[in-house]
Amino acid sequence: MADLYIFLILLALGFTIGTTVEKRHFRSLIRREAEHANLLLIASKLPTPDLKISESHLVGGNAVISVDYFKRFVAGLRNLVGGRMNAYESLVDRARREALLRLKDEAEKLGADMVFNIKIETASISQSANNALGSIEVYAYGTAVKTARR
């Protein structure tokens, strides 16, 4: 019986705090993305030849984000029937956007105005032996360049 109570408390805590944390994170992501709107991220491999580039640096940003207890439970249920896993979709979305924002921070500190050849790498970090997917790490990197637009 005590086990059931602990489980329910964890579920409730995970739901209330997890949802608040996620909402706050999304709000902050949207705000910071708007602040960085003038820095261009480009996935293409090489800068176009018409750009006059004076400096280039390797920049990167990473984030480790964990899913809450409630979502992990819901995802476990979802595993039985298949289909979209909303719980994990928002997790990877948050981690990617956060990592990209940190990359942008670093690029802006260097005075760059474009970042080329963005690569995004995702790795799952297993917490312990018993739960499979606890948290994920996303690392985004690219080459920041300072341009003098002709």
Partner 1 sequence: MQLSNLEIVPGQRIVKHLGLVQGSTVRAKHAGKDFLAGIKNIFGGELMAYTELLQESREEAMKRMVEQAEAVGANAVVNIRFSTSSVTMGAAELFAYGTAVVLEERG
d(CA 75, CA 82): 10
Cα distances from 22 to residues 43, 87, 144, in angstroms, run 28, 11, 30
79 binds partner 1 (CB under 8 A): no
Cα dihedral 45/50/55/61 (nearest 10):
-40
Q: Tell me the residue type at 103.
A: L
Cβ closest to partner 1, residue 37 vs residue 131 = 131
127 binds partner 1 (CB under 8 A): yes
Q: How far is the CB of 80 from partner 1 (least distance, A)?
A: 22
Fill in the DSSP letter of residue 134: -
Cβ closest to partner 1, residue 64 vs residue 85 = 64
Site of interaction with partner 1 (CB under 8 A): 10, 13-14, 17-18, 21-22, 25, 45-47, 51, 53-54, 56-58, 60, 62-69, 71, 98, 116-117, 119, 121, 123, 125-129, 134-135, 137, 139, 141-143, 145
